[in-house]
Chains A and B, each alone.
Chain A
Amino acid sequence: MKERILQTLSDLRKYALEKGYEVTLFYHEEDSYLMRFANSSISLNTNEHLIRLDITAYSGRKRASYELITDLGKLDEMKKGVDIAAEMVQHAQPLTYQPTVPVFAKSFSDESGFDAVLANISNEARLQYFNTAAAGLETEAVKLSGIFSSGTNIIAQVNTRSEHTQYFKTSDAQVTAVLSHSALKWEVTAEQSANKKPDLDPAALRQELAFLVEHYQADAPQQIPLGSYDIVFGTAATAEMLGFMNWIVFNGGSLKRGFSCLAEDKLGKKVFSDKFTLVDDPTRLETFPFKRDFTGIVRKPFPIFQDGVFQAFTWFQDDADEFGAKATGHTVGHKSLVLKGGDRQDVKSLPDLVKSRRDKDVLYIPFLHYMNIVNPSKGILTGSSRFGALLLKQDGSVTVPFNVRLTQSLLDIFGDKVAWLSRATVPYNSSQSYGARNPTALIVPKFVQVNDLEISHSNSSY
């Protein structure tokens, strides 16, 4: 299949050259499977096999694109797409800067993230996974929801500047299991990310769910008072906040457009806690990495924050072209963000956290729902807790809080208020399936405790 894809791109390149066009060709193929659960049933079992071809034509400083969903047997349709893009670019308006047309110095192929066993996991195996993960936890009132999303993702590139190609192939799986009480409306979750079959461990997922369900069934939920709390964030919450950093903290284009809370004068300065070290690390297979970016830049570990000190903005090629900056190898579908673990070795799991000694009450927030940017210049985000929050009392007891809202600046959350990060880190799968498949994961500490954060709203029910 790889040969056929690259041959098709080569044929299209030849066609474009014969016509005198300047084009880049970006091929995306996904074979996606999703089994969705709700109310303890499989509410949807679906698959899609889609091939997209994105053709960008250049003429001097002009640029235009045409994308089609097609298949490899339709070379004439693809050639027509090349013609359309070439026609469009004649009517485009010149940019004020020269857009880069990449030149691949040599061909590159990376299939290190592909596991044929994971890619070909069967319907029956997906169902068996969920049956194991939820075994004995469902009741008349407690219902299972979730997804098992898996698939294969192929990206291939060529352009008229060079005969060399880039080819990326990966497999991925994202599992979310939710147990919810149909009358009381509480909900708890556990998630897994896999880039190879052995990563899937339904028994471990069940263990996490069982622990939370035990507390949620035993304790009456309560509205907690507004005010300041020491908060332990779980992996999903931490990953969500780091995801927003992509846009309003260290993105060079956002900086230049006034949509960043950090200015250039913060480079080399301490911005966050000295416990905060963030790297874009494409060597970590768990993040479904791109080892080269889409312009051919070789990607290596790229420090963004080191011990809280701001190291560098990241630049997409087009932003770099526009603002006269140097591209940093971040013209990719997603980065491979890794937040380094801390020095807390004794807290590897939620039971460890619950039983650990504490000198005051601690609020555990595993997940932040519907987070959004309130004020980019100040780095202020808002979002609500969801899925299994716990109030860990000073005396060792545990209560279940109704959901709360946090409206805080990232600069505060990851600043000097950081108390500790767990040594243990885990991949968190943050993939969305809007548009083309793009498996994405971050590596984050299992827990991050931040002290003295304000709760701005506290629910009186679910």
Chain B
Amino acid sequence: MLDKIKQNIQRLQGLGATYVDTRWYPFEESNNLMMWNGNLKSATSARESGVGIRVLYKGAWGFSASSDLSDLAALYDKAFDNARVAAERVTFPIRLAEKDAIQAKFESPCAVNPFEVPLADKVAFLKDMDEKLNQPGVFQRFCDMTFVRKQIVFVDSEGSHIEKIITEAFSTMQVSGLDDQGATYERSFRPSLKGDTRGWETLDRQLFSENAERIVKEMNQVRAADECPKEDRSVILLPNIMFLQTHETIGHALELDRILGYELAYAGGSFVTLDDFGKLRYGSQKLTARADATLPNSPGSFGYDDDGVPAQDNLLIDKGILVGAITGRQMVEEANARAKRQIFKGSGGANRATSFYRVPIERMTNINIDPGQDGTLDDIVSHTEKGIVLDTERSWSIGSNREQFHFGTEIGWLVEDGKITKVVRNPTYKGATLKFWNSLTAVGDRSTWQVKYVDNCGKGQPNQSMQLGHGVPVCRFDDVRIGE
């Protein structure tokens, strides 16, 4: 197979292709188990294999993919033909930033391969959690686990040959209950990513048990709580909502393809312009954000991206000032050329595809906020006069240029004069992105910092759903409108 891939790459180069790469997935397997109110609604496994071919010809991309490898040459020809037609409408011929030819292997750390764990053991885990959630006040119980394992062989016309094996484990549980009017309230738990691995071993039965008890208790508190007030307060975001705030208003806003207008047909653009790099005060001095694809235990770490560029740890925002973006080889070249200055020194190694049949695009890696100097959660609460502590996303909606947002959370705790006073239900908050990040007045220390995963980040056309991570501390923002 490898010989055929290399022969076809050479053949297309002979036809005038300036660059060709191939991602061959010998296998990608997935397994989802979902239990709802004690019913094993989903016990699903899947397996796929195939090839995706990307061809650059006269400054334009062509792509073709298939699970049928019986006529590989025809597939390469189709990708080339797609590029040939695309080359008829080019306004900025694509160039790729320099990179080294890499021969490498990467395997994500995994102590226990989840695909070697018997189905019965997985079902038993779910059943155990479901029983723990089955408590007074609980109307709906939901437990879910998803596992992915894939092998990716990347070969390009520049001499790179990279083989990766990536294993992921995602798990969650949720309860909901009704108030006396029949309105529903939820509380959920997703484990933080701890340790150095990301296999079956990350499903810690003790941790799930403890949190099952907690979320049932908190959901029942929410059911009986007063409505969230509609007013301006300080909001203290716990990691289970801070990760999404970071994801939506830093991560997506700093994807370079969005900034350059390559997602305007669907996902949207960004309020950030090329002129802003090095100058824009994105947030307060307390804000330092980075794209770090080197965390061992997160789905945002993958060894090498789908351009064949090594994973990196890059600053995005340094003490409030915008300094970097989430980048791949194509976009950094175009951005530097358009800006007529070198903003980016090379690819940030963040070009990824969700499967063999999708093309790589700029995706978040682990978009993290550095821990700060403002102590523990208790310290931050004790220094807050009028605030609300918020946890876990319930809804999220963001403007098309990521310039404004509206979030709902599962639970809120009002803070008055440095003390938590009571739980409120249906908490929401909204804001304008730059104003919000510039109102960041407290950043929790390392004790508050947690790595959260996102397993369904949508972007691109054809659509792609990507997995990534966020390491975030507890943060406080002042003068935020809540309750709308």
Residues of A within 8 A of B (CB): 32, 34-51, 62-71, 73, 81, 84, 88-89, 91-93, 95-97, 123-124, 127, 130-131, 143, 145-147, 149, 176, 178, 180, 182, 185, 187, 257-259, 263, 318, 322, 369-378, 382-384, 386, 403, 405, 407, 432-434, 456-457, 459-462
Contact = CB atoms under 8 A, between A and B. Distances in A.
B38 A369 contact: no
Contacts of B83: 45
A384 B260 contact: no
B60 interface: yes
B85 A143 contact: no
Interface of B: 35, 37-50, 60-68, 70, 78, 81-83, 85-86, 88-92, 118-120, 123, 127, 139-140, 176, 178, 181-184, 260-266, 268-269, 271, 357, 359, 394-401, 403-404, 406, 408, 426, 428, 430, 432, 458, 461-465, 484
B66 A50 contact: yes
B207 to A, nearest CB: 23
By DSSP majority rule, is chain B's interface helix, strand, loop, or mixed? mixed
Given A36-B461, A71-B68, A372-B396, A322 B265 contact: no
Contacts of A49: 65-68
Contacts of B44: 64-67
B70 A73 contact: yes
Contact of A127 (B70, B89, B184): B89
A459 B39 contact: no
B268 A369 contact: yes
Contacts of B184: 258-259, 376-377
A81 B484 CA distance: 50
B141 to A, nearest CB: 11
A462 B45 CA distance: 44
B261 A384 contact: no
Nearest to A89: B43
Given A43-B61, A377-B182, A459 B403 contact: yes
Nearest to B462: A433
Contacts of A182: 261
A71 B484 CA distance: 51
A259 B67 CA distance: 38
Given A39-B260, A40-B89, A68-B48, A45 B123 contact: no
Contacts of A93: 35, 40, 123, 127
Given A42-B60, A68-B46, A73-B68, A37 B265 contact: yes
Given A88-B43, A462-B271, A462-B401, 16 more contacts: A35-B86, A45-B85, A46-B359, A63-B40, A71-B68, A91-B120, A91-B123, A95-B40, A185-B269, A257-B140, A258-B182, A322-B39, A371-B397, A384-B398, A386-B268, A460-B432
A253 to B, nearest CB: 10
Nearest to B393: A372
A256 B46 CA distance: 30
A35 B89 CA distance: 11
A456 B123 CA distance: 45
Contact of B397 (A69, A127, A143, A384): A384
Given A46-B462, A64-B43, A457-B404, A51 B123 contact: no
A373 B186 CA distance: 13
Nearest to A33: B82
A46 to B, nearest CB: 4
Pick the most buried of B92, B139, B357: most chain A CB atoms within 10 A of its CB. Answer: B357
A456 B429 CA distance: 12
Contact of A459 (B81, B181, B260, B399): B399
Contacts of B271: 185, 461-462
B408 A374 contact: yes
Contacts of A88: 43, 45, 119
A434 B460 CA distance: 10
Contacts of B408: 374-375
Given A403-B399, A461-B271, A47 B262 contact: no
A96 B64 CA distance: 45
A36 B265 contact: yes
Contact of A38 (B46, B264, B463): B264
Nearest to B402: A370
Nearest to B124: A93
A459 B406 CA distance: 13
Contacts of B183: 375, 377-378
B430 A456 contact: yes
Given A63-B43, A123-B81, A147-B461, A462 B63 contact: no
5 contacts: A39-B91, A64-B44, A66-B47, A146-B265, A149-B461
Contacts of B484: 407, 456
Given A42-B90, A45-B61, A91-B119, A66 B67 contact: no
A124 B88 CA distance: 9
A436 to B, nearest CB: 11
A39 B261 contact: yes
A308 to B, nearest CB: 22
Contact of B45 (A66, A127, A146, A377): A66
Contact of B90 (A41, A95, A382): A41
Contact of A68 (B47, B265, B266, B428): B47
A71 to B, nearest CB: 4
A69 B29 CA distance: 10
B45 A461 contact: no
B67 A69 contact: yes
A144 B62 CA distance: 19
B406 A457 contact: yes
A123 B120 CA distance: 50
B60 A258 contact: no
A407 B230 CA distance: 14
Contacts of B118: 91
Nearest to A73: B70
A256 to B, nearest CB: 9
A456 B484 CA distance: 8
Contacts of A62: 40
A127 B88 contact: yes
A318 B34 CA distance: 14
Most buried by B among A96, A146, A176, A384: A384
Contacts of B86: 35, 41-42, 44-45
